[in-house]
Amino acid sequence: MRVIAFLIAIGIFSCVQTQENALRKLSSGLLECYNSSFVVLKDNHLPYTMDTFIAILRKIEDSPSFNMDLRQFTVSLLHRFRQDGIIENTESKPALGVIPYASNSFQFYKNAAILKLIQGNALHFPNSSISLLERCTLHFILSSTIDFKERGDESITCQTQNSQYRWKRNIDKGTGDVETLSPEELEIIKKKNNESKEGDFGPNSFYPVLPPNHPENAQYKQSMTSKCPLESGIIHTKWGTVAGGTLLAGIAAALQPEKIRISDFRNWRLNENLSDVRVDNKWLATLAGDLAEVVIRQGPFKNLDERFQIGIEGHWNSTVSQKYYFLNEDENFLNDVEFTAAEVRGDLDGLILANTVMTWYQSIPSLRLSQIFDMYYSDRGLFNVSTRACDRRALLTSVAPNDTTSAQVYAASLALLLENCEINKYASNFTLINAFDGNVLINSSNSILDFYNFNETQYSSLTMFKNGFDLPKSLEVLKAREEQKLNREWESKIGGQRSEIVLILPSATASISDSDKNFCLDRLKTLRETVPDATLLFLTPGSKDKWAEMTVDSVNDIVSFSNGNTKENSAQIINLVNRMKQEPERCRYPDMTKYTISYENLVCVCSASSAIISPIVYFITIMYIYTRH
């Protein structure tokens, strides 16, 4: 996904203009935190704890020059001190006026998108209310980045995920133990051992010495990475380390709610019936934003059977003065550090606070930001004992109810299915049919955006809140559509075309009576005679038994999934995609009559030399018959 580049003016000295920290270069207000080795060194910072964070906030709020309410202060704080993805350019040589830091890491893109949806500036922030060291501590608490640079202290600072239980074993393997030496190393050994004697025969002596710039003399230079990278932008609390930036952004987004149209955020051409899709800044600033970052960063490099990696833990350098936070050495994660455990907790806390803070702000306009964090990260809770950090697991069910979670898992499975079927104008297309009355919701689209933009609002507007499962009616509509298409192909003398896959997605409560089942079986028999190269598949929650009679191969043509188990669902979806890819192109003789013929006759025609049959399996027309949960 490409992210918008925000073009803005440069801020004046001691103030930060609107969204200046959404640019790649350092914000002018943050230069003071990088222009001297004293403030860059974390040993000189204040401890990265919630007590420190709250104390700095209180100092700002108590200053005589402070004149902002909760919303203004939160937004101003976000734009003043948060700039994600700042890393050092280790190749830069020290020079006067050169600061070798910039927002070049992957966290930059998400932060720039968040600031697009949380408008504001830091023009009225009272910079003089806190010291330089306090300002820089605040910046490093709120700005997320991961430093992969090798430090040289890894033998002391790195810990394995289970180091508190046992030491990691280093056992040499019995294979692959042959020592190899480079030509340079061999030459050094020969010189040390005086093996190069005058008069010895050496074939290489007939050739001149290679020049220094020769490719064979080139040495590959690779920057060394740490086994336990250093994570910034985090805060130590009694209930786990949290990401400070997403925590603050969730509150800022809730106090300044905004839902922007996708068409305004990006100039996409959308279906006119599916153009009212909006992005909620509250979700983008917290959980949805980080999950999207994981998909975009890890997705292209994962095999279909590999899981996304999230939630890598870390450890502090000290239990007394927390200055450095090292990610644990874990072979399962390697470089998949887009969504750390601290960010998971910060996103959840930010989302929980975002769902309650507006209510309290409207009731108590004088509410302070320091009070919110002080109450939430305590045993007292935010005005009640049910809203506190130690209960984030229980609060998650109210923020994301089970029904919503199940629906999102179901929708995510469909999105994964479409992505793996390569929905685009050069490959597959799909049609979405309502299982209640057979009406077409999305008609033969080759853009996956049409599916992504088909949300609950669009479904309700197109179906007029009519939901249910009427398979006989759906099959009638399907048969009519297929006959019309075959007639058009016959009139145009079109032979081979894309395979037809009919995927029926009933809900867990969908059922079919005996009379309807008999009608459907008869209709399916007629359909298979009319369109024998169309394949009927089922993707259903629960048992396969009630749909077994509808398919030719009940073992492979019915795929079941469970609400809530993402890992198992992903595997089942991949199995379904592999089943689809087994279907070749449709085989149909161009001069074939448009009237119904038997399956045996078609097989005979396909075996003729003039028949068109292709082994290409990616060109699939997918027709969904969808029932609402």
**What DSSP assignment string belongs to 184-209?**
HHHHHHHHHTT---TT---GGGGSPP
- Range with the largest mean pLDDT of 462-471, 578-587, 607-616: 578-587
> 523 forms bridges with which residues in the sheet?
none
Compare 523 and 335 and report the one with higher pLDDT: 523
The whole-number pLDDT of residue 370 equals 92
Q: Is the pLDDT of residue 533 over 80?
A: no
The whole-number average pLDDT for the span 486-506 is: 77
Per the prediction, the chain carries an average pLDDT of: 73
Would you place residue 175 in the very low, low, confident or very high pLDDT band (cuts 50, 70, 90)? very low
DSSP track, 467-536: ----HHHHHHHHHHHHHHHHHHHHHTT-----EEEEEEE--TT----HHHHHHHHHHHHHHHHHSTTEEE
Which of 67-81, 209-223, 288-302, 516-530 has the least mean pLDDT? 209-223
Check whether 52 has a pLDDT greater than 80: yes
Length of the chain equals 629
pLDDT of residue 16: 36
Residue 367 reports pLDDT greater than 60: yes
pLDDT at residue 414 is higher than 70: no
What pLDDT, on a 0 to 100 scale, did the predictor assign at position 616? 25
* pLDDT tens profile 582-608: 777 665 554 544 433 333 322 222 222
Rounded to an integer, the average pLDDT of 409-438 is 63
Give residue-wise pLDDT tens across range 93-123: 777 778 888 888 888 888 888 887 888 888 8
The Cα 577–Cα 591 span in angstroms is 32
**Residues 443-456: tens digit of each pLDDT:** 777 765 566 556 55
The lowest-confidence range among 104-113, 124-133, 327-336, 517-526 is 327-336
**β partners of residue 242:** 235
Assign 142 a pLDDT band (cuts: 50, 70, 90): very high
The CA distance from 535 to 617, in Å, is: 13
What amino acid is encoded at 400 in this protein?
A
Q: Do residues 527 and 478 make contact, with C-beta atoms less than 8 angstroms apart?
A: yes
257: left (phi over 0), alpha (psi -120 to 50) or beta: beta
Domain ranges, ordered by start, for the chain: 20-152+225-268+275-395, 404-626
Quote the crossing angle between the two packed helices 244-255 and 132-142, to the nearest 10°: 90
Q: Would you tell me which CATH number, out of the four given (1.20.1600.10, 3.40.1000.10, 3.30.300.30, 3.40.50.410), belongs to the domain 404-626?
A: 3.40.50.410
Contacts by residues 2-10 (CB-CB < 8 Å, ≥ 24 positions apart): 3/109, 3/112, 3/113, 4/112, 4/113, 4/116, 4/265, 4/266, 5/112, 6/112, 6/115, 6/116
Q: How much of the chain exceeds pLDDT 90, in percent? A: 19
Phi/psi region, residue 300 (left: phi>0; alpha: psi -120 to 50; beta: rest), is alpha
Within 8 A by CB and 6+ apart from 359, the residues are none
pLDDT, tens only, 551-571: 888 888 888 876 555 556 667
124 pLDDT more than 70: yes
pLDDT in tens, 18-31: 456 667 788 888 99
For the stretch 287-322, pLDDT in tens is 877 877 787 778 767 776 778 888 889 999 888 788
For residue 57, give Cα distances in angstroms to 60, 77, 172, 220, 370.
5, 10, 53, 49, 6
Over residues 468-485, the pLDDT tens digits come to 778 888 888 888 888 888
pLDDT at 207: 61
pLDDT in tens, 178-229: 455 655 566 666 655 554 455 555 555 556 666 666 655 555 455 668 888 9
The pLDDT of residue 286 is: 86
- Residues 30/81, Cβ–Cβ less than 8 Å: yes
Is pLDDT above 50 for 412? no
